[in-house]
Amino acid sequence: MSWWSTWWTKKRNQGSQPPASSTEPSSESRDAERADAARERRSAAASEKPTPAEFDTWRVRDGDETAIQHGFAAASAHPGISDFLLHFSRVLDERGDPESALKLLSAALEAELAVERPSRGDEHFVSALMMRASLAERLQRRELALQSLEALLSIRFDHPQALPRYRRLRSDVPDERALQSSREARAAMTFVVDGAVGRGRYRVETEIGRGGAGTVFVAHDVHVDRKVALKVYHRRGQVQRERLHAEAHMAAQLVHPGVVRILDLEPALGAIAMEWVPHGSIRDALARGPTTLARATRWLETSLRALAFVHSKGIVHRDLKPSNLLIGDRDDVIITDFGSAAPAGADRSAAPMGEGTMQYMPPEQRAGAPAQPGHDMYAFGVSFREIFGGVPGLIPSWIERLLGRCAAERPINRASASTLLHELDAQRRDESVG
């Protein structure tokens, strides 16, 4: 028996048994039939996740008490957020049992987070967090309500009900320093500090990206009246402050049209303000549908020029991938996210926030080798094989050869960005002569 079923049975039986004399006797056969039917329905609820309509049918057919037992059996067998779970929680609350609903939602949210981080479009997760915040506030559990709202705002900053409620609850907290300490310990939540919302230099508008280290928002810089991309680190510890400064300073040294511009550093917010590139990333473009050969080739050429420049300055990006290749106004590529970047030859300690994305890492980088430009070349080759894989028709053989030289398994067989750039320029001259 699950903890939910055990807990509910105990709760139901506390002081709820009627006197023996008040219960009408019933035939043993009818009791046995009802018990068998109830067991069958509990078994069915555990084997298949029910719908809200099915749960309402149980209530009509079997009564609320039995239906709730079935509901807990289903929730235990199918952890996580679903239409049924949200409906079942509302029923518990409407029946005067918000404690059960709160406990159910909290367990389901924890089960969901153990599998994957929710996205902005996850309506079930957003609804569950909002419901838990409401229940927690009514039950005088303000800290849990604030945690729920912070988690909600970290995935949907512009939620119309969450932000006003969060501000109101914050204003009611008497010991702000204690709350701040507990908030910093919750690494999974990325709520932009209140100064960025309403009082400081930046007015956050919407979320545009999320990674392992931080979340990126579109924000308005009220000092100079312009939009910026505001990257806010998930954590605020000493290691994160060091990485914040390292990322900003390293990217600021790379003045090139193909490298994102750093505009400001906000240590108090745990944030970096960068130029806002409104066209999104190559990953975004690929998600919208197939691209053309000419466009993919331009991305290849401009990103290769930017990468050759980065390497000429002795910097290794260490996390090249389509989502870190932004698309500029002329369809040229702008490399962003230098949070894992390090000087060539630096060991892993130079990037304590973690380095790279496994799918794009060469074998030696996965094994912890010091940073080398060849790591970026491998990631470049894997990324553009993915990009050209979305181009209809045949890919020119010279492009396939170029990408093969990038993504070679052995580092010694990988060509440098500058070498490939010379070859690409030669290819262009041949094409113009031909």
Q: Is the pLDDT of residue 69 over 50?
A: yes
Q: How large is the C-alpha radius of gyration of the chain?
A: 28
Q: Are residues 206 and 241 in the same domain?
A: yes
- Cβ atoms 382, 361 nearer than 8 A: no
* Cα 83 off chain centre by: 21
In a domain? residue 417: yes
Q: Are residues 288 and 305 in the same domain?
A: yes
Q: Are residues 352 and 240 in the same domain?
A: no
Domain end (from 218, 251, 275): 275
In this predicted structure, which of 257-271, 321-335, 374-388, 409-423 has the lowest mean pLDDT? Answer: 257-271
Torsion sign over Cα 59, 65, 68, 73 = negative
Q: Are residues 297 and 314 in the same domain?
A: yes
Q: Are residues 43 and 167 in the same domain?
A: yes
Number of domains the chain contains: 3
Residue 254 confidence class, pLDDT cut points 50, 70, 90: very high
In a domain? residue 290: yes
Check which CATH number belongs to the domain holding 201 and give it: 3.30.200.20
The widest CA-to-CA distance across the chain, in whole angstroms, is 104
Q: Would you call 319 a catalytic residue per the annotation?
A: yes
Catalytic residue among 319, 329, 331, 347: 319
Share of the chain above pLDDT 90, in %: 32
Residue 387 confidence class, pLDDT cut points 50, 70, 90: very high
Q: Are residues 269 and 380 in the same domain?
A: no
Model pTM?
0.60
Q: Are residues 426 and 291 in the same domain?
A: yes
Residue 185 confidence class, pLDDT cut points 50, 70, 90: very low
- Token representation of residue 174: 């008497």
Within 8 A by CB and 6+ apart from 124, the residues are 81, 82, 83, 86
The whole-number average pLDDT for the span 394-399 is: 92
pLDDT tens digits, residue range 159-170? Answer: 778 878 887 887
Q: Are residues 214 and 323 in the same domain?
A: no
* Residues spanned by the domain of 247: 194-275
DSSP string, 217-269: EEEEETTTTEEEEEEEES--SHHHHHHHHHHHHHHHT--STTBPPEEEEETTT
Domain end (from 131, 156, 182): 182
pLDDT for 281 equals 95
In a domain? residue 350: yes
Q: Are residues 86 and 159 in the same domain?
A: yes
Q: Which position has the higher pLDDT, 41 or 340? A: 340
Of the candidates 192, 208, 16, 182, which has an alpha carbon nearest to the alpha carbon of residue 97? 16
Bridge partners for 272 per DSSP: 231, 265
Domain end (from 137, 159, 182): 182
Q: Are residues 35 and 65 in the same domain?
A: yes
Torsion sign over Cα 380, 385, 390, 391 = positive
DSSP string, 371-432: P-HHHHHHHHHHHHHHHHTTSSSPPPHHHHHHHHHHS-SSGGGPPPHHHHHHHHHHHHHHHH
| Interatomic CA distance for residues 310 and 332, integer angstroms | 16
The whole-number average pLDDT for the span 60-72 is: 85
In a domain? residue 258: yes
In a domain? residue 342: yes
In a domain? residue 188: no
Torsion sign over Cα 274, 277, 278, 279 = negative
Q: Sort strands 226-233 and 271-275 into parallel, antiparallel or unpaired.
A: antiparallel
Alpha-carbon distances, residue 153 vs 206, 210, 226, 328 (angstroms):
10, 13, 23, 29
In a domain? residue 20: no
| Interatomic CA distance for residues 161 and 138, integer angstroms | 16
* Phi, psi for 421 (deg, rounded to 5): -65, -40
Q: Is the pLDDT of residue 114 over 50?
A: yes
C-alpha angle 131/133/135, rounded to 5°?
A: 70
Q: Are residues 269 and 141 in the same domain?
A: no
Within 8 A by CB and 6+ apart from 19, the residues are none
pLDDT tens digits, residue range 262-316? Answer: 998 887 777 899 999 999 999 999 999 999 999 999 999 999 999 999 999 999 9
- Token representation of residue 402: 């170029």
H or E segment and range at residue 33: helix 28-47
Buried b (16+ CB within 10 A) or exposed e, 195-205: ebbeebbbbbe
| Interatomic CA distance for residues 414 and 405, integer angstroms | 5
Q: Are residues 260 and 289 in the same domain?
A: no
Check which CATH number belongs to the domain holding 111 and give it: 1.25.40.10
In a domain? residue 245: yes
- Token representation of residue 246: 């390292």
Alpha-carbon distances, residue 36 vs 39, 43, 73, 165 (angstroms):
5, 11, 16, 47
Of the candidates 253, 249, 207, which has an alpha carbon nearest to the alpha carbon of residue 230? 207
| Interatomic CA distance for residues 424 and 16, integer angstroms | 81
Of the candidates 154, 258, 307, which has an alpha carbon nearest to the alpha carbon of residue 216? 154
Q: What is the DSSP letter of 51?
A: P
| Residue 274 exposure: Cα atoms within 13 Å on the Cβ side | 30
Alpha-carbon distances, residue 202 vs 168, 195, 278, 396 (angstroms):
21, 8, 17, 46
Check which CATH number belongs to the domain holding 358 and give it: 1.10.510.10
Buried b (16+ CB within 10 A) or exposed e, 287-313: eeeebeeeebbbbbbbbbbbbbbbbee
Q: Sort strands 325-327 and 214-221 into parallel, antiparallel or unpaired.
A: unpaired
